[in-house]
Homo-oligomer: A and B are copies of this chain.
Amino acid sequence: MGRDNDSRRSDDSDLDMVNRDPNGLNAYLKVGFEDVLAEPDDAHSIDCVWRNSYRCYNGGKNCCYKLLTVLTGLCIALYWGCTFAIVAYNNIWCITPSMKLFKICTGVYRECCVSVTDCVCGPICRSFGLLFSRISVSNK
């Protein structure tokens, strides 16, 4: 069943080709025409200019982006796949158990600190706390 799980994930039949950002990672990247260029009511250019500006912007944007992804997209995806595999391996088999060990040690040391500060700082602070022990507020 675990093997089926793995093979199912590398299958691309369930890849959503329209909504390509289901987790909203890059939702802040709003680069549509109306997000970049806008004319308020008191300053309108000639209709012809405005309509062609729209065409120029979208044409330039799509050409550049699609060209870049065709050239380098697959290599980058492969690179990130390998990188995250190594990171996962490192965290699972090395860092998490080390953190476990580290927490046990600091837990003991912390208990020791609590005893010392309760013994030394506690009584002094409790005495100085008497400063606030006679506040009398009379609401007239």
Which residues on A are within 8 Å of B, measured CB to CB? Answer: 1-3, 5-6, 9-10, 12, 15, 17-18, 20-32, 34-47, 49-66, 68-70, 72-74, 76-89, 91-97, 99-104, 106-140
Contacts and interface: CB of A to CB of B under 8 A. Distances in A.
Q: Is the interface of A mostly helix, strand, loop or mixed?
A: helix
B134 A129 contact: yes
Copy number of this protein in the oligomer? 11
A46 B7 CA distance: 12
A45 B76 CA distance: 14
A80 B34 contact: no
Contact of A60 (B41, B63, B82): B82
A127 B133 contact: no
Contacts of A51: 12, 15, 17
Given A43-B29, A117-B123, A55 B10 contact: yes
